[in-house]
Amino acid sequence: MIVGLLVQNGTARMFWNELANGHHYVGAFDQGQLIGYAGMALSPPSEAWVNNIAVRRDRQRRGAGRALLDDLLEYARRNNIRQTLLEVAADNAPAQRLYDEYGFDVIGVRRGYYQPSNVDALVMRREEQE
């Protein structure tokens, strides 16, 4: 199942490379089936990047993405991370709303970042509160 998610998102090689480099990855399961995954890379001493959050299309909008993000942010807190960053497609309004709910703010735009669609990426940042 994870292979299907990775192929769908075109990230299989990237995923295995990130695991080999010790990045944090978690899965979301429903009745024993993988329905999503998320990953984060720490940049000590105080920064982390959400590498990806992916949920199977037929399981979206049911809380799996939120649960995955909760896990990543808790992992960041346990590692004393003060700032978490991510990129999201400019045309992915549902994901942008989710990140906004978690206190992420747009801090930049990467023009034509996603290929071959040439969609811009919004760079978002969340600062941990004291």
Annotation marks residue 113 as catalytic: no
- The yes-or-no answer on residue 102 being catalytic is no
Active-site option among 99, 101, 102, 127: 99
Nearest CA to 5 out of 64, 46, 69 is that of: 64
- Reduced to 3 states (helix: H, G, I; strand: E, B; else coil), residue 44 is coil
Q: Do the Cβ atoms of 15 and 6 come closer than 8 Å?
A: yes
User: Of 4-18, 81-95, 110-124, which gets the smallest average pLDDT?
Assistant: 4-18
| Catalytic-role residue among 47, 75, 87, 102 | 87
Per-residue pLDDT tens digits for 44-72: 899 999 998 989 988 888 889 999 999 99
> Residue 40: phi, psi to the nearest 5?
-145, 140
* Residue 38 CA: distances (Å) to CA of 70, 76, 101, 117: 10, 13, 18, 22
